[in-house]
Amino acid sequence: MVEFDVKLSADGRLVVMHDDLLDRTTDGKGAVADTPLDAIRALDAGAWFAPGFKGSLVPTLEETAAVLGELGLSANIEIKPNPGQESETAVAAAELLARHWPARLPAPVISSFARESLATMRDRAPHLPRGLLVWEKPSDWSAAARALACRSVHCAARHLTPDWAAEIKRQGYLLAVYTVNDPDLAKRLRRWGADSIITDRPGALIRAEDQAAEPGLMRSPA
């Protein structure tokens, strides 16, 4: 699976964008919430990363869903709303996914730190599995996950402890951990019960698993 964030442009289109501002990942400036899609699509979103990506555009969620269908790749879609657009963003996502999510793919996981967004998804698209994103351990994480009918809890690696991981698993939730780029840490988190490892370096983690496999065994293409 691939994980990415979505938010609304000024004219209500869902774009794949992590930051509230355009400044860091494009050659534009200003808030995504204040910029219409046509202006966002005129920006270069790749040159900052590497010369080979120069000219890359900010994709819409609809375009991204189509590419995922071609690749046979499902997704963890994080709703990362602009301030004050928690419910509006979730409504737009639920409606778009109902129309455009490829039928051949498993349903995407919908995750968010914004509980209002998850509540809206619960009501608008209850069939889509939801994941509660947390940073440090909230005292009410269990009550929130239950109220939002979440299937999983997504924790920051730096704040997860063995006891908290065990508590999450004991209460019947799947456990996802982010952002894990160290193979040794990934192995440790697996021992703690992590079901999903979110990483910027999937190749490095897969190679480490292959090297640790018994001689003569082939890693299955899961």
Range from 11-20, 53-62, 85-94, 198-207 carrying the lowest mean pLDDT: 198-207
According to the model, what pLDDT value does residue 193 have?
97
According to the model, what pLDDT value does residue 213 have?
62
The predicted-structure confidence for 7-50, as pLDDT tens digits, reads as follows: 999 999 999 999 999 999 999 999 999 999 999 999 999 999 99
How far is 47 from 180, CA to CA, in rounded Å? 25
Residue 78 lies in a domain: yes
**CATH (domain of 86):** 3.20.20.190
The total of structural domains in the chain comes to 1
- Determine the average pLDDT of the residues in 142-151: 98
- Determine the average pLDDT of the residues in 144-164: 98
pLDDT bracket for residue 55 (50, 70, 90): very high
Residue 217 lies in a domain: no
Residue 66 lies in a domain: no
Cα-flanking dihedrals φ and ψ of residue 8, to 5°? -95, 140
Residue 44 lies in a domain: no
According to the model, what pLDDT value does residue 212 have?
73
The predicted-structure confidence for 180-204, as pLDDT tens digits, reads as follows: 999 999 999 999 999 999 999 999 9
Length in residues, the chain: 222
- Determine the average pLDDT of the residues in 120-133: 98
Q: Report whether pLDDT(219) > 50.
A: no
Residue 41 lies in a domain: no
Residue 218 lies in a domain: no
pLDDT bracket for residue 135 (50, 70, 90): very high
Contact 88, 58 (CB under 8 A): no
Query: Which residues have C-beta within 8 Å of that of residue 140, sequence separation ≥ 6?
Result: none
Domain enclosing residue 174, as ranges: 2-20+74-212
At 199, list the tokens: 């990483």
Contact 112, 79 (CB under 8 A): yes
Residue 107 lies in a domain: yes
Q: In this structure, what DSSP letter does residue 83 have?
A: T
Instruction: State how beta strands 130-133 and 152-156 pair.
Output: parallel
